């Protein structure tokens, strides 16, 4: 469920237009509430997903760079000591 859909569902639930006595509807409202709450805590929408993707790519790149440097330094030290 997208964030916009979850917000509309919560608005309708607060307005009283949804029958919260029905278990299925109550479940959808609870899912919408969880989605909106998660978005408020961690950021929501497509922009934060892109930002998260960039952060993961940067972290992965740094991890690989540190690993490669960690492998090259001992080889350089061994070659220079000959």
Q: How far apart are CA 51 and CA 58, in angstroms?
A: 11
Joined together, the tokens standing for residue 30 give 């609870």
31 and 2, same domain (yes or no): yes
Instruction: Name which residue leads in pLDDT, 2 or 55.
Output: 55
Report the distance separating Cα 17 and Cα 75, nearest Å. 70
Per-residue pLDDT tens digits for 6-56: 999 999 999 989 888 989 999 999 999 999 998 888 776 666 777 888 999
pLDDT of residue 44: 66
**How deeply is 6 buried, as exposed, middle or buried, from its count of CB atoms within 10 A (0-12, 13-18, 19+)?**
buried
The pLDDT tens digits of the residues spanning 46-67 come to 667 778 889 999 999 999 999 9
Domain that holds residue 34: 1-43
Q: State residue 40's pLDDT score.
A: 83
Q: Are residues 1 and 35 in the same domain?
A: yes
Q: Indicate if 7 and 38 belong to the same structural domain.
A: yes
Q: Dig out the tokens for 24 from the structure.
A: 């299925």
Other C-beta atoms closer than 10 Å to the C-beta of 69 total 9
Radius of gyration over every alpha carbon of the chain, rounded to an integer in angstroms: 24
């Amino acid at each position: 469920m997208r964030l916009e859909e979850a917000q509309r569902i919560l608005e309708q639930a607060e307005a009283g237009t949804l029958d919260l006595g029905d278990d299925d509807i109550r479940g959808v409202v609870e899912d919408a509430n969880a989605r909106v709450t998660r978005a408020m805590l961690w950021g929501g929408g497509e922009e934060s997903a892109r930002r998260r993707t960039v952060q993961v790519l940067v972290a992965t790149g740094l991890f690989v760079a540190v690993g490669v440097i960690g492998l090259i330094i001992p080889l350089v030290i061994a070659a220079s000591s000959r």
